[in-house]
Structure 1
């Protein structure tokens, strides 16, 4: 009888446990999950005889993503979660396999804090585990009923022990969140915060030590509060999200750590202050949601849903681009939903950060020249005088305005002033050699090991590598740990102290084995991990080695190759490298141009010197006498067989020379200073020609909306010329149709004058753009012939006109309903025109185009009426915002226009977040590079009310995609209509 009473009491208390879990989860609270873990440990240990520990409280826990409780001796691990979805199970198993946790544990159990679902996808789960883990959905998915079933078979002594544990936490006057360890003593909290302070200080010292060599100097720098001052525009206000941006070496992490230490000090003094949380990039790559990471880090430090948190997220650029974009969105959600919460992120200037509104993206300013010199003098003990500076290249002068390189140069000057270093690359190379010298190890023995570490760190999910995966020799890393060239993260896990060192050594590995990139080239996600090492490699390696890296990328993912070449700069290389001979220059130009031609596909036919079969003609080169760094180059278009390269004739560019008509695509310029200069030279030439091609909307495509708009554009041009036509006196936006007989007569006259009288009639709308006028008149003739076949007598405007009689501005002539219909038509046509342009001319570049790669898509727009006589403001056009929602490949483009009240982002953020997450599913081949949903907005006469509004929009989107890849310089001008 006593056994039955005890069992009933256990069931009652367990039910209370589950009920409280459900109640808290229903209002969005998840902090009780971690508290529940603490309670479950003694219960599970009692029932199953295990010796579980909670790994969430282990310092530097980076080896257990998705796992909460472990018994290492029994090789069992458990995830405790209130989320019962199949997606949660699949995600955790995927992380378990990805991080090779099956090597340490034989069994993974899910303990659901609520009732588990009736079924889970067995085949999908088995596909994930890949026979590396024996996982049974019947055996390994638990909820409280599994425990009750076991307990029901116990003798009374064991039942009572379980009951005592539950009574201690769930009796009538107790609650889970107040007795589970969620609330800890004031002193324990202070102890935790002070431990975090020591860890933050040690991290600062660790980063300084590799640059300055002396630990004493590193400690002094870490304690010097004059270094790492935040920009004046940065304030950590409640609800704010700020991103500190800048290139490596500017001190973004140091600023974040300084502010983190300040918030720790405030939290120690004020128990109600927001909880400071510092998250490194390695933690971000475990695949957890940001809120889950915050919940874990805040556990035991207070109630983050009441106090709020001060989040410092370091190294957003070090995670893959999709995760970076996702985390940025989640940061805004946390700042909006949690009280007294702020988020500070550090990152290089990556696309999702560059798109932030003004004020959210805060560039870290470089040191002034004076600040840099003073720091060098202080650390090196040498006076920086004019003679000293005169020996520094512009590359070094630029580099030392970033604190990392300032410290490296000061360290160098302190030890060796015999020879000046000439670039960032040489500064880093000296830093490595000096560290290995101080470690008293052989440079050539350790370089392969360090390169292997860099390769594994680059390929890994978080930049950390198990030492055992690299070297079996005991204590092989000890000398490098002493000098700080490598650091330990937890137990046998090691990495480099600075991301730039990982990238530098990874770039050196590419010199020894370029096939690494060949293996990556068909995996966008893997290739993206090598972005920064590739930039360094292309800038520092020889032309031949750089070409081995770039050729397979340029021919497979040309937009990615463009970004790599554009990002490579002379700051990495040696500025004094002379050009090779003219003949060698020609061969290098041939090699680089051929790769671009192969990669760009059909586009190459209109922007490159390639022949119809895709091969290249002879290239002529000449190095200007008097300097070894000024090159002239042009491509032969004559009839002779000159071979692959030839000396460029002296007067090839003179209109008075016989050679004038034999050479094309000529260029005279000073090449960049990298050995692989030919890649940038040829790319600049191609992008300049592309920019000229896009100056006017003259790319031929077979698109009905484009042909109709082009025909109407030509019609308006003819109407303005034919003064006798009655409709010529009307405003063009009110013109609805033109008789075909009038157009036939005018068009026939223009064609006759051109064909039989050799007299070119210029239509003022097209200016002197003869080719564009010819193309548009051709489309007009094509449209007239089509209408004649259909027995039509008028050519109609492709757009609906105004429906109101009065208004000062064009949009005021449209009622809200009419304007919404006009926008719907215009955007639908623009999507079709744009997609046809890309499919016809830019197909090979499409995976790297943000807008093009998203298509087919639903354009979701929101139109916001403003107060005014007709529903609109009389000074400003109505507000309009849109984003693209990717659709399955078999779908067609659609447009959805909605009336909207309130700020666009506030109302639609949740939908945009969902759209962003779907990109990775629907566009896996491009998701790494398109990163986030394309967005736009604003009304203008050109894009909404112009005679070619859809074509204008389509070309504006094309320029937007091209600027993202090629940079702004080649596409500054808007397309003229």
Structure 2
């Protein structure tokens, strides 16, 4: 390491990375051609660590010392490696130190490659900068250092959440599939991600918090008063267990400033100090320039051309905040992703959500974390200016943003909490609940369907500290009860009915937008129930009607499940009318003998259809809509799939999946038309659903060897289903043929990934297509946080 006359500190390596201390800035200037040696890789990693520490207020010389202290930020090997699966996902909230831990792992990989020419080639990538597949990107980055096919790759992918959960899931699935193949056996991959991505516990590692002693030691090293941490309120102590906030706290203590109570408040304090210390601009100008840079970075994927941000003086002002770094000679970026997201949010609060953003799902994807930051940091009225236009244009994205912005699981603890009048609490919850219902469109009218109520409601709520007591009550006729509803009426309304919903739990009262999150939780729990009970009626979908008609008929005639002989339509009709007009409810059979009831409107429709003979053949018979077993007898028959020949099983699979696509489309068009652009499967269409099906040879024993199916989405001019039998299980697990760049099936970044997933085909129930369609819809809604949980019954097969 050497110093030049202008204060620059070179960190070694032919790539020429420079950390420039002049004007309190850090400039990353990669030499021509990028890293060419292992020393270059080490220098680049060191520069990334230094720039991050310096951005949050660590003096440049101390940041360099920290970077050269190898144990600082390192995790035990078991936390960052997995010999069995070869893929680890390190999960932690922003500021937890996961990027630093990944850098330390990358430095260890570089050291291993220096000492052993056969060791895997070290590669470090940022998820949001990966174009195409993660495997191809890693191979391209590794080639200057050796043969990836012979040595394998030790890959670190930072920020799996930054390109969005759908893209993040796709990159993760690509890594898992590759390392499970023969070609990827020498690979080891470490991903870092914020909470929110659905992960298998076998790959997830939770980033550990600092202990209180570790927090105090870090604060002391940075000139703060670590011994004062123990006297802070529990909320503050909890925040300080993340290294980012401990570093910010040390700076605040040096300034004799009080410590904030929440992560957002700490972030605001960091920005205030950085802007105040800038020498090149007044605070107001610096804030404005930072917001402009953030919107440019958000729209372009993380880098902004310096010329698009402002004059050379503006660029110097930005660099003077130490929050911004120069990348190359012509581009700027934020030193930390969370800073880009924060200032994008501030720009939205200052100028509102641009109309071109609310109407463009591509831009909404890039701005999603900025939108969440805006909602997290805003007051009540300011948050409304962000949420309400978004809710009108894209209710699904509004739900994702609110869920990301406001914590839902919070402890009941000491304040400070806002002192809100009971009437104001109830009014805000009332307004947000009605906004969610209206924004969702037809499905919003069914939120309280299972309480036999579809009319307007009244919210009665009280907030004591941060504990909310909530009751949602029927509103009778045009009368709205007083918000101070007597206790007796909360449990027994005037007509003797219990509340539609009731809860008493802590809420994130220090976030002004908490009422949006609370009522979103109510909506999500109800939509989850509707999906689980499959109670979105479809009047004009033939595939749905055929399955429901068969279920009703077999239930009425007491036909055993999985018996597919034709039924007499007249007998089914007669049994329906007897049940309909005597009991008013019709018990019908669903999978595995569970019972559920048809609603009156559907029963009347089935009554009309059976009476008109619409679905009966010329002999008056009703037929099961899918291919029936063709080899029910024989010594090899031990399981339900053994009753089908491979060709018959392929045909049944194709029929079921085709019907499921039709039912899913009808569910979206009928009940969720406002979400069509951001529901995963809907936004991926038109596409061909490709199913590769493997059927094991007949066995003499009753060993459990079910058929296996691999589903993937392929680009197509129209939606269709294609099912192929593959000759061996190896063919099923073989890597899928690559898609040419720009030819992916997803029409929006919110669409489902295309990485194939292996599952057992769930095609043997009496209503398999409805099961698949609801599972796909349920998963898509859950990805937007519009259901409280994912589906619990059918394995959807889709990634």
Bin for the TM-score computed over the shorter chain: 0.7 to 0.9
1:270 deviates by 5.2
- Report Cα offsets for 1:322-379 as digits up to 9, x if no partner: 876776677689977989964645442588x746x76555554444555445544554
1:435 alignment partner, one of 252, 258, 274? 274
1:875 alignment partner, one of 693, 697, 704? 704
- Report Cα offsets for 1:48-87 as digits up to 9, x if no partner: xxxxxxxxx98579xxxxxxxxxxxxxxxxxxxxxxxxxx
Quick one: distance in 1 between partners of 2:69 and 2:174? 34
1:268 deviates by 4.3
For the pair 1:605 / 2:605, whether they are aligned, the reply is no
1:801 alignment partner, one of 616, 628, 634? 628
In structure 2, the CA distance between the partners of 1:579 and 1:631, relative to structure 1 (3 Å rule), is farther
Aligned residue number for residue 247 of structure 1: 93
Quick one: distance in 1 between partners of 2:594 and 2:632? 33
For the pair 1:389 / 2:242, whether they are aligned, the reply is no
Contact 1:486–1:497 (CA under 8 A) maintained in structure 2: yes
In structure 2, the CA distance between the partners of 1:350 and 1:470, relative to structure 1 (3 Å rule), is farther
Aligned residue number for residue 487 of structure 1: 325
Aligned residue number for residue 658 of structure 1: 494
Contact 1:834–1:954 (CA under 8 A) maintained in structure 2: yes
1:523 deviates by 1.6
Aligned residue number for residue 537 of structure 1: 374
Quick one: distance in 2 between partners of 1:292 and 1:761? 57
Aligned residue number for residue 261 of structure 2: 422
Contact 1:858–1:893 (CA under 8 A) maintained in structure 2: yes
1:238 deviates by 13
| Higher normalized contact order (CA 8 Å, seq sep 6+, divided by chain length) | 2
In structure 2, the CA distance between the partners of 1:383 and 1:584, relative to structure 1 (3 Å rule), is closer
Aligned residue number for residue 520 of structure 1: 357
- Report Cα offsets for 1:393-437 as digits up to 9, x if no partner: 43x444333322232234434553x63320111212222233344
Contact 2:17–2:44 (CA under 8 A) maintained in structure 1: no
Length-normalised TM-score, structure 1: 0.67
Aligned residue number for residue 472 of structure 2: 634
1:769 deviates by 5.0
- Residue 885 of structure 1: SS of its match in structure 2? strand
RMSD over aligned Cα atoms: 4.3
In structure 2, the CA distance between the partners of 1:909 and 1:579, relative to structure 1 (3 Å rule), is farther
Quick one: distance in 2 between partners of 1:196 and 1:898? 46
1:661 deviates by 6.1
In structure 2, the CA distance between the partners of 1:690 and 1:916, relative to structure 1 (3 Å rule), is farther
For the pair 1:918 / 2:744, whether they are aligned, the reply is yes
Quick one: distance in 2 between partners of 1:708 and 1:764? 14
Gaps of 5+ in 1: 1-56, 62-181, 183-187, 721-727
How do 1:654-733 residues align onto structure 2 when only pairs under 5 Å count?
A: 654-655=491-492, 657-658=493-494, 660=496, 670-673=506-509, 674-701=511-538, 702-720=540-558, 731-733=560-562
- Report Cα offsets for 1:29-66 as digits up to 9, x if no partner: xxxxxxxxxxxxxxxxxxxxxxxxxxxx98579xxxxx
1:586 deviates by 4.3
- Residue 346 of structure 2: SS of its match in structure 1? helix
Aligned residue number for residue 946 of structure 1: 765
Contact 1:883–1:935 (CA under 8 A) maintained in structure 2: yes
Aligned residue number for residue 784 of structure 2: 965
1:466 deviates by 1.0
Quick one: distance in 2 between partners of 1:370 and 1:801? 67
Contact 2:577–2:607 (CA under 8 A) maintained in structure 1: no
Aligned residue number for residue 750 of structure 1: 579
1:240 deviates by 5.2
In structure 2, the CA distance between the partners of 1:847 and 1:293, relative to structure 1 (3 Å rule), is same
- Report Cα offsets for 1:779-801 as digits up to 9, x if no partner: 26623532598643322333443
Quick one: distance in 2 between partners of 1:704 and 1:764? 19
In structure 2, the CA distance between the partners of 1:322 and 1:953, relative to structure 1 (3 Å rule), is closer
Contact 1:204–1:257 (CA under 8 A) maintained in structure 2: yes
Quick one: distance in 2 between partners of 1:953 and 1:263? 44
- Report Cα offsets for 1:546-597 as digits up to 9, x if no partner: 1111112212221111111111124999963426334433443354334323
Quick one: distance in 2 between partners of 1:584 and 1:636? 19
- Report Cα offsets for 1:101-135 as digits up to 9, x if no partner: xxxxxxxxxxxxxxxxxxxxxxxxxxxxxxxxxxx
Aligned residue number for residue 821 of structure 1: 651
Quick one: distance in 1 between partners of 2:66 and 2:238? 22
1:467 deviates by 6.5
In structure 2, the CA distance between the partners of 1:334 and 1:863, relative to structure 1 (3 Å rule), is closer
- Report Cα offsets for 1:710-769 as digits up to 9, x if no partner: 22212222233xxxxxxx5xx5423402334543443343244347xxxx7867879885
How many equivalent pairs are there?
Answer: 751
1:208 alignment partner, one of 31, 35, 53? 53
Quick one: distance in 1 between partners of 2:657 and 2:308? 57
- Residue 880 of structure 1: SS of its match in structure 2? strand
- Residue 690 of structure 2: SS of its match in structure 1? strand
- Residue 489 of structure 2: SS of its match in structure 1? coil
Contact 2:709–2:759 (CA under 8 A) maintained in structure 1: yes
Aligned residue number for residue 909 of structure 1: 736
1:970 deviates by 4.4
In structure 2, the CA distance between the partners of 1:329 and 1:735, relative to structure 1 (3 Å rule), is closer
Contact 1:882–1:936 (CA under 8 A) maintained in structure 2: yes
Length-normalised TM-score, structure 2: 0.81
Quick one: distance in 2 between partners of 1:515 and 1:892? 34
1:623 alignment partner, one of 453, 462, 466? 462
- Residue 676 of structure 2: SS of its match in structure 1? helix
Gaps of 5+ in 2: 1-13, 19-32
In structure 2, the CA distance between the partners of 1:283 and 1:894, relative to structure 1 (3 Å rule), is closer
In structure 2, the CA distance between the partners of 1:719 and 1:326, relative to structure 1 (3 Å rule), is closer
- Report Cα offsets for 1:603-644 as digits up to 9, x if no partner: 1222269xxxx9x957453426x667434353653223559x
- Residue 595 of structure 1: SS of its match in structure 2? helix
How do 1:145-184 residues align onto structure 2 when only pairs under 5 Å count?
A: none
**Of Structure 1 and Structure 2, which has the larger fraction of its residues in helix?**
1
Contact 1:279–1:313 (CA under 8 A) maintained in structure 2: yes
In structure 2, the CA distance between the partners of 1:342 and 1:654, relative to structure 1 (3 Å rule), is closer
Contact 1:636–1:662 (CA under 8 A) maintained in structure 2: no
For the pair 1:557 / 2:394, whether they are aligned, the reply is yes
- Report Cα offsets for 1:210-260 as digits up to 9, x if no partner: 335333432332222222324515349899565544332232322332233
In structure 2, the CA distance between the partners of 1:904 and 1:831, relative to structure 1 (3 Å rule), is farther
In structure 2, the CA distance between the partners of 1:671 and 1:660, relative to structure 1 (3 Å rule), is farther
2:66 alignment partner, one of 209, 221, 225? 221
- Residue 684 of structure 1: SS of its match in structure 2? helix
1:707 deviates by 1.8
- Residue 736 of structure 2: SS of its match in structure 1? helix
Quick one: distance in 1 between partners of 2:84 and 2:251? 41
1:848 alignment partner, one of 678, 683, 689? 678
Quick one: distance in 1 between partners of 2:587 and 2:141? 72
Q: 738-747 or 424-433: which moved more?
A: 738-747
Quick one: distance in 1 between partners of 2:374 and 2:193? 19
